[in-house]
Chains A and B, each alone.
Chain A
């Protein structure tokens, strides 16, 4: 039951009960008063009768008649009038004289008679309650007793009291109801206000006052459920670039101000039927309720444009960039939850590609169920031994000898089969398992190398290092330890790092690479030609080897351009003092061409496919890499 109804019933109930109790009390009081009054009245009337009956008695008139007349005159309501003396009842008058037993009367009034006294009382005769008054008859040794029925009477006083009581009850009831209504309305209004405030707090972000994530979901779900077949909803997830950096450098207060300002600017761009929310952290979300693809594009441009002008906070001007991910309903999904997730994924994709915005692309979704599954299985996989290292030889064109091996990691999942590195390296980085993975790779590779070297082979080994591993402070110490442990010389270990990774943060890369180079390790730039190298920096980095990306090598057959590119890379490498490796050699023609260009090292299926350790060992034996007699390289 609602609070106001409860309150109303409660107060009215209390009033009614208290009035009931009051009524009962009043009734008893009135009844008593009534009796008291009647008794006094009776006494008064008895005295009047006694006074007037005395005269005829003295003069000798018949007692009874005198009594009758007098009592009728002075006390018309009396039931019974008696004149008594010690001997008995002298006369009786009154309408009830037939019904009353004389003996009872004698017993009650004659026996305890005291002549000359005035008494009142109540008695029970023939089953009925009577009030009596006994008064002396003046001048004679007689008592006059007057009896009247007790109980309710139509007395004016009672009636007055009753009606007054009724009136007061009604007024009280009225006031009670009114007070109850008053309380109820005040309380429910206060409650509603409090509820509204609470609800606002729960559904809105405290800093910006914008709706928060849960309210967004609510609104989005509602829009989706009320959408008909023609309606398109576009969801944008807007992320502020480098927000963490800004917070770290300029402080959290600044970050807060930045958020407020960004929120305000986005708010201004909102069209009629759009909804803005803050998802938390540095993310905002906007959804357009008639956002087909074109409109979504147009609106996104609009939002990006709003941030062109630098934001000024406390005299500090900052140019803020946004990364925006978009997901569409119903094209991408018809569920609010997924819509937000996909837009988020799209936003991350945009980030990675350095694009300002990107639509969700189902194929590139790195957050699919399979990825999640693999991500969790990664760590177990390492200890389970599901990973294995394959090796691919790198052969020197000049000498025909195996110069080194590249270690390639493979994951043989028990149910999903062979999983390519492209898929799991990213996951490993996301889940933080990359450290363990890199450690394992280094260890395996170095131990294998040691084994080969003990058999007399002279070669090096190359291991791929990912972005995160570069940033790992523990990398260098661990490499040092492993080298010490295995006894492998540092110049026999090459670290292959992709061009992109290095160019992402050149200064940092320079620092790390120099530090690793100090150990004596060889540094190789992998997939060269696919990143955005600055030649100036390239010159500064301690690079020993450039590996031409396979796409160019593969394309050499068909395209003169690719051939020219490979040639220039070879020349560039030599100019910089690096050796150059051509990856992806698949036929003799390419091999010959590379030889002509004076490429140093070749790697590819034409030379050998990647093989596991034991197979590779055998292959090396067959190739005569074990010094028995160095033969020239035979094609496989």
Chain B
């Protein structure tokens, strides 16, 4: 599927970094966050952002018509 690109390089790197950290503390290291609800939410955010970062398209950006490729 072709996604319209609107995520810049730096943006992508940050997203991947933070998503990985979130996934780690929520799913991999199960003791860090005791509350299942919290870890669930964080896992969700982490996975979603990882997906968005890899694909290059953020729907929120489209709604706000932001494009970070040229650093608006």
Listed in ascending order, the chain A residues whose CB lies under 8 Å from chain B are: 4, 156, 159-160, 162-164, 166-167, 170-171, 174, 178, 181-182, 184-185, 188-189
B1 contacts partner chain A, Cβ-Cβ < 8 Å: no
Give Cα distance in the complex from A185 to B37, angstroms: 34
Q: A164-B37, A166-B42, A182-B64 are in contact. List 20 more A-B contacts (CB 8 A).
A: A4-B71, A156-B34, A159-B33, A159-B34, A159-B35, A163-B34, A166-B38, A167-B33, A167-B42, A171-B41, A171-B45, A178-B60, A181-B64, A181-B66, A181-B72, A182-B66, A184-B72, A185-B64, A185-B67, A188-B72
Contact A160 B66 (CB under 8 A): no
The chain B residue with its CB closest to the CB of A161 is: B35
B22 contacts partner chain A, Cβ-Cβ < 8 Å: yes
Contact A164 B38 (CB under 8 A): yes
Known contacts A159-B34, A164-B35, A164-B37; decide if A185 and B66 are in contact (CB<8 Å): yes
Residues of A within 8 A of B22 (CB): 170
Partner among B34, B37, B72 whose Cβ is within 8 Å of the Cβ of A4: B72
Most interface-central of B22, B38, B71 (chain A CB within 10 A): B38
Contact sample, A vs B, 30 pairs, CB 8 Å cutoff: A4-B71, A159-B34, A159-B35, A160-B34, A160-B35, A162-B34, A163-B32, A163-B34, A163-B35, A163-B39, A166-B33, A166-B38, A166-B42, A167-B33, A167-B42, A170-B42, A171-B41, A171-B45, A178-B60, A178-B64, A181-B64, A181-B66, A181-B68, A181-B72, A182-B64, A182-B66, A185-B65, A185-B67, A188-B72, A189-B72
Known contacts A181-B72, A184-B72, A185-B66; decide if A167 and B34 are in contact (CB<8 Å): no
How many residue pairs link A and B with beta carbons under 8 A? The number is: 49
Residues of A within 8 A of B71 (CB): 4
Cβ of A503 to closest chain B Cβ, rounded Å: 69
Give Cα distance in the complex from A164 to B39, angstroms: 8
The chain B residue with its CB closest to the CB of A165 is: B38
The chain A residue with its CB closest to the CB of B40 is: A167
Contact B41 A185 (CB under 8 A): no
Known contacts A160-B34, A160-B35, A182-B66; decide if A167 and B72 are in contact (CB<8 Å): no
Residues of B within 8 A of A166 (CB): 33, 38, 42
Cβ of A178 to closest chain B Cβ, rounded Å: 6
Residues of B within 8 A of A171 (CB): 41, 45
Cβ of A171 to closest chain B Cβ, rounded Å: 7
Give Cα distance in the complex from A156 to B34, angstroms: 7
Give Cα distance in the complex from A189 to B33, angstroms: 42
Residues of B within 8 A of A170 (CB): 22, 42, 45
Residues of A within 8 A of B35 (CB): 159-160, 163-164
Cβ of A88 to closest chain B Cβ, rounded Å: 43
Contact B72 A185 (CB under 8 A): yes
Residues of A within 8 A of B72 (CB): 4, 181, 184-185, 188-189
Per-residue interface assignment for chain B, residues 38 to 67, with 1 indicating a CB less than 8 Å from any chain A CB and 0 otherwise: 110110010000000000000011001111
Give Cα distance in the complex from A203 to B37, angstroms: 61
Residues of B within 8 A of A174 (CB): 45
Partner among A167, A184, A185, A188 whose Cβ is within 8 Å of the Cβ of B38: A167
Cβ of A142 to closest chain B Cβ, rounded Å: 39
The chain B residue with its CB closest to the CB of A158 is: B34
Give Cα distance in the complex from A170 to B43, angstroms: 12
